[in-house]
Every structure is written in C-alpha cells, then in structure tokens.
Structure 1
Amino acid sequence: MVKSAIGTHLGATLKVVAAGCAALQDDWWVFGGAAMALAGVQGLCPPDVDLIVSERDAASLIITWRAQLETGAPSPLFRSKVFARTTIAPLPIEIMAGFEVCESGAWSAVRPATRQIAAFNAGVIFIPTPAEQAEI
C-alpha cells in the first residue's frame, strides 16, 4: 500500500469512485494523474479521475452514474472502445474500457499488470504500481 497525496476535490471524487466501484465484477484501476497523486506524487491537481475497467463494468458504471458516452474521434495517441464521462463528483470521472495507446504507429491494449491498493481513508482504490505507471 502506498501513501497518497490528494487534495479536497480529488479526495471527494475518489470517495464516489470507491463506492461506485466496490461491486464491480472485474479488476479496475484509477489511472493517470489521479493514480500518480494516489501513489504519492506531490503537487498534482488532476482535472479528472480516469478509470480503466472491463466493458461489462463500464456498462454498469455508465448506468449507475448516468455517464454520457463520448463518440468523438480518438486522439492520435490514445483511444478507447468505451469512453464515458460523468460529472457526479467535484471532478469529472472518465470511464474507459478497451483502452489503447499508439506507439510507433501501432495500437496496443493498456491493461495494467499490477494492481495495488492506494492508502485512502474513504474506501478501496486500486492503481497500477508507480513503476508500471511510469512505464505506461
């Protein structure tokens, strides 16, 4: 377990994430800036919380959180089979399933191999290890 460094808005949003993800059926992770803050990186103010989940769990969260599916074109570096956003917390929560990254012109799936609990007082939050976050 790692010691996190989170601000008020991120903390309140992570409480929503912990509660909403508690009953998910498959592995899930907080990813990106929020995961780096949870890993202890100081001074971060993530604009949102990114979640990597399975397609089955994405469908469940989209209904539970009344998230809006995003259908715009993917960025040249990232794309997701399912991408939805909800604003039920102080920070937007982005739900991603089938998340991929483009490297040297080839797309590859991003599914963390590691899963650790971040120290957070309002529920269980899973993140990739800091080493894997840096690698991704």
Structure 2
Amino acid sequence: MRDARDSWWIIASAAAALHGADIPVADVDLLASRRDAEALLTRLGLTGTSQPSDRFRSDLFARWTGLPLPIDIMAGFHVLGPDDWRELRPVTRIAIPLGDVTFPVPSIPELIYQCRLFARPKDVARAAILQRFGHEADMRPRIA
C-alpha cells in the first residue's frame, strides 16, 4: 500500500489485534478506495470479484494468499444493517507501528461500532473484548 493515493485501513480482527486485543486473527481485512484496490490487484496479478454474502458485499474483492495470513482486499465494502445496506467508511485513522511498517486502523470506539454492526457472534465477542479498552482518548498518532 506504499503507492496508495487514498486513505486505507486494516479493519476487523487484525485491527483489533493491532490495538492490543488478544483475539485470533485468521486473515487481514484491507479496506481501500477502488482505484487503490484495482492498482494493488494489478500489481499482485489478482482478479477482483464482488463476493456478495447475506451480510456483506464489496464492489471489489480479492484474496491474496502470498503472505502467512491471507489478505482480503476490499473496496466499496457494504454491511447489511438493521434497515438496509450501508457502506462502511471508517472515519478515524490511528497509526499503529509493527516492525518497520505502520498500519492505519480505525479507533477502538469505531471498531466497537463496526463489530456491533457486523453482528455475528464472533463480532459481538470482539466488541466486548474491545470494550475493556474503554472509550478513553487513544494517544497514538492520528494520520490523515
């Protein structure tokens, strides 16, 4: 994502783990703009699909398995909420360094909101774990 032109995020379980939550991470969910996702898929030699399910859909989706954890690359990610489909557009970006790479993730309160919106049992459990961190101000640097 070094060549990304727009904001992007790591979301879901990987984002919670980057914040310090002790939870299992089966894959990394990367949310990007369509142009950045398309450019990344081209560089990786992947073809995107829309990958709909009963609760989630993406305008563009691909899974890259070239690292120890699979990376789900998404653009235009939508969640079926209580009323209708809504696009998930994170508002906050917290910079979390890991080794020599910095990953942008939503804030803990925003991740809790997302988990509750996803509403699957594993997401409800994730929200409860994140709730332990509280809603105090996160002192990590925010990035644009």
Question: Would you say the 8 A contact 2:50–2:58 is kept in 1?
Answer: no
2:7 aligned with 1:33? no
User: Unaligned stretches of 5+ in structure 2?
Assistant: 115-144
Q: Which one has more relative contact order, counting CA pairs under 8 Å at least 6 apart?
A: 1
**Counterpart of 1:100?**
78
* Compared CA separation, residues 47 and 70, structure 1 to 2 (3 A): farther
**Counterpart of 1:47?**
26
2: distance between equivalents of 1:86 and 1:66? 9
**Counterpart of 1:124?**
102
2: distance between equivalents of 1:70 and 1:127? 24
TM-score, length-scaled by structure 2: 0.74
Other structure's SS at 1:124 match:
strand
Other structure's SS at 1:30 match:
strand
1:56 to 35, 59, 69: 35
User: Unaligned stretches of 5+ in structure 1?
Assistant: 1-20
Identity of aligned residues (%): 38
* Compared CA separation, residues 71 and 108, structure 1 to 2 (3 A): closer
Structure 1 moving runs of 4+ over 4 Å? none
Question: Would you say the 8 A contact 1:34–1:48 is kept in 2?
Answer: yes
Higher CA-based Rg: 2
TM-score, length-scaled by structure 1: 0.79
Q: How many residues align?
A: 114
Question: Would you say the 8 A contact 1:70–1:84 is kept in 2?
Answer: yes
2: distance between equivalents of 1:59 and 1:23? 12
